[in-house]
């Protein structure tokens, strides 16, 4: 959920075909993240961190939460 919220859609900067390819690549990362076995996989988490940092120009916003699973995601990904 955090990845989808923090990573920009590529359609702003690319042609329609290039945006589709990039979107597919990003969805691939998202699909890996939702698999329980990957919840502590440093390779998967690293790819997600890289995309978040790229979209936020190296300055991701603070993630606030009230004890939900978003906080767990934030600790793992950000």
pTM: 0.70
Following DSSP, what letter does each residue of 16-76 receive, concatenated? HHHHHHHHHHHHHHHHHHTSGGGTT-HHHHHHHHHHHHHHTTT-PPP---SSSHHHHHHHH
How far is the C-alpha of 5 from the C-alpha of 9, rounded, in Å?
Answer: 10
* Residue that wins the pLDDT comparison between 77 and 34: 34
Query: 10-69: per-residue pLDDT in tens?
Result: 887 789 999 999 999 999 999 998 898 988 899 999 999 899 899 888 888 876 555 555
pLDDT at position 63:
67
Q: Is residue 71's pLDDT more than 50?
A: no
Sequence spans of domains, the chain: 2-77
């Amino acid at each position: 959920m955090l990845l989808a919220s923090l990573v920009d859609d590529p359609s702003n900067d690319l042609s329609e075909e290039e945006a589709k390819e990039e979107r597919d690549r990003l969805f691939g990362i998202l699909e890996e993240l939702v698999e329980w076995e990957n919840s502590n996989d440093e390779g998967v988490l690293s790819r997600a961190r890289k995309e978040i940092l790229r979209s936020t120009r190296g300055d991701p916003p603070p993630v606030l939460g009230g004890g939900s699973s978003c906080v767990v995601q934030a600790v793992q990904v950000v």
